[in-house]
Amino acid sequence: MASVRRDWTRAQVCALFDLPFNDLLAQAHAAHRAHHDANAVQVSTLLSIKTGGCPEDCAYCPQAARHDTGVQAEKLMSAEAVVARARAAKDAGASRFCMGAAWRSPKDRDVAKVAEIVSAVKALGLETCATLGMLTGEQADTLKAAGLDYYNHNLDTAPEFYGEIIHTRQFQDRLDTLEHVRNAGLKTCCGGIVGMGETREQRAGLLHVLATLPEHPHSVPINQLVQVPGTPLAGTEPLDPLEFVRTIAVARILMPASMVRLSAGRSAMSDELQALCFFAGANSIFYGEKLLTTGNPDVAHDRFLFARLGLRALDGDTADGEPHAHLEIDHEDPCCGGCACSTSG
């Protein structure tokens, strides 16, 4: 089995990006097969438990209060309402439930409320993930004690590009929270966004930081920018789709044992592009018709795509031990017919 290294140099990461496409994909797919079932994909469902009104100025984000995007600010949902959504996600086939909140950094009383929500969702038998902004060490401990499995906190882009995208916090703030999360014994979910006008060198820079953290993130979400009107990044030149595949492939080679998530942006991708991403090493997706505030492919469409590719949904991740039982997906399911896909009726 290919070894898991944390001593990559940035030049080595750039050299991977520059490989001929077929050589890069062959190397990535071999790394993928050495560490994972190549036909199994972990599925997470996202819910925005506290929406909009965020004081940060992340240029990509529809939830920043200062961006006029039409997102209505809503306060933290009740535990009962979140549990109802988590139960529905589980019934639809998700194994992990990710709860997102548009906070810069939650107050201790917010964390206490989220801890209650986490315990209730965990009791359904789902893996739990939360993304709440910057945390203190004590707050991370509180969430761990409540049964939280994963904390999502993205580095989002290369250190040298960060200041062009976000002005209200520093790259180092993100690294500090990740340290608190690791120290609490939580699993980390950490990745970034591509298609924000960064260079290839900067995409390599983001992956280089991720692959040289004190431990590789358990999950690495690779988001393609969802361009939302009213955000400063709306109108950015879209990334070449094959460059997106390269980014997935390089992430897979650098962090071979991690789950690489084909994250935001799938609604704008063809099935064929997603298939190439799965071949390049993506083995996790967000499943369900909504991300936080923007759309995601229809569940029926994803089930049909899985059937066409012979993919199975994983019940839990395989990154840390035994494979888990597979969920049933009916391979006779037709596509929804309601979406614009080329395979619907």
By the rule CB under 6 A, 263 interacts with ligand DTB:
yes
By the rule CB under 6 A, 100 interacts with ligand DTB:
yes
Query: Which 16-55 residues touch ligand SF4, going by CB under 6 A?
Result: 54
Measured from the CB atom, the residue of 100 and 256 that comes closer to ligand SF4 is 100
Q: How far is the CB of 226 from ligand SF4 (least distance, A)?
A: 12
Q: Which stretch binds ligand SF4 (CB under 6 A): 30-38, 60-68, 114-122, 324-332?
A: 60-68
Query: Which 101-160 residues touch ligand SF4, going by CB under 6 A?
Result: 102, 104, 133
Choose, from 96, 246, 261, 266, the residue flagged as catalytic: 261
Annotated active-site residue 246? The verdict is no
Measured from the CB atom, the residue of 180 and 301 that comes closer to ligand SF4 is 180
CB 127 within 8 A of CB 97: yes
Report the partner that residue 64 touches, choosing among ligand SF4, ligand DTB, ligand SAM, none (CB closer than 5 to 8 A by kind). Answer: ligand SF4
CB 233 within 8 A of CB 262: no
CB 155 within 8 A of CB 209: yes
- Provide the residue type at 202 as one letter: Q
- Provide the residue type at 43 as one letter: V
Window 217-236: contact mask with ligand DTB (x via CB under 6 A):
----x-x--x----------
- Cβ neighbours of 304 (radius 10 Å): 25
Measured from the CB atom, the residue of 221 and 281 that comes closer to ligand DTB is 221
Give the 3-state secondary structure of residue 74: strand
Measured from the CB atom, the residue of 60 and 304 that comes closer to ligand SAM is 60
Report the partner that residue 293 touches, choosing among ligand SF4, ligand DTB, ligand SAM, none (CB closer than 5 to 8 A by kind). Answer: ligand DTB
For residues 8 and 143, what is the distance between their CA atoms, to the nearest angstrom? 32
For residues 340 and 345, what is the distance between their CA atoms, to the nearest angstrom? 10
CB 253 within 8 A of CB 10: no
By the rule CB under 6 A, 60 interacts with ligand SAM:
yes
For residues 246 and 201, what is the distance between their CA atoms, to the nearest angstrom? 13
Could you identify the residue written with the tokens 């031990």? 321
Annotated active-site residue 277? The verdict is no
By the rule CB under 6 A, 59 interacts with ligand DTB:
no
Q: How far is the CB of 156 from ligand SAM (least distance, A)?
A: 5
CB 54 within 8 A of CB 103: yes
Query: Which 285-314 residues touch ligand DTB, going by CB under 6 A?
Result: 291-294
Query: Which 62-91 residues touch ligand SAM, going by CB under 6 A?
Result: 63
* 150 phi, psi to nearest 5 deg: -125, 150
Query: What is the token pair recorded at 177?
Result: 């929270």
Annotated active-site residue 335? The verdict is no
Report the partner that residue 225 touches, choosing among ligand SAM, ligand SF4, ligand DTB, none (CB closer than 5 to 8 A by kind). Answer: ligand SAM
For residues 178 and 162, what is the distance between their CA atoms, to the nearest angstrom? 16
Q: How far is the CB of 12 from ligand SF4 (least distance, A)?
A: 30
For residues 101 and 55, what is the distance between their CA atoms, to the nearest angstrom? 12
* 62 phi, psi to nearest 5 deg: -70, -10
Annotated active-site residue 341? The verdict is no
Report the partner that residue 153 touches, choosing among ligand SF4, ligand DTB, ligand SAM, none (CB closer than 5 to 8 A by kind). Answer: ligand SAM
Q: For residue 42, with 0-12 CB atoms within 10 Å meaning exposed, 13-18 middle and 19 or more buried, which class applies?
A: buried
Pairing of strands 150-152, 284-286: unpaired
For residues 206 and 220, what is the distance between their CA atoms, to the nearest angstrom? 11
Which residue of 36, 41, 52, 103 would you call a contact of ligand SAM, by CB under 6 A? 103
Residue numbers of the site for ligand SF4 (CB under 6 A)? Answer: 54, 56, 58, 61, 63-64, 102, 104, 133
Give catalytic residue positions. 54, 58, 61, 98, 129, 189, 261
Residues in contact with ligand DTB by CB under 6 A are 46, 62, 98, 100, 131, 152, 154, 191, 221, 223, 226, 263-264, 291-294
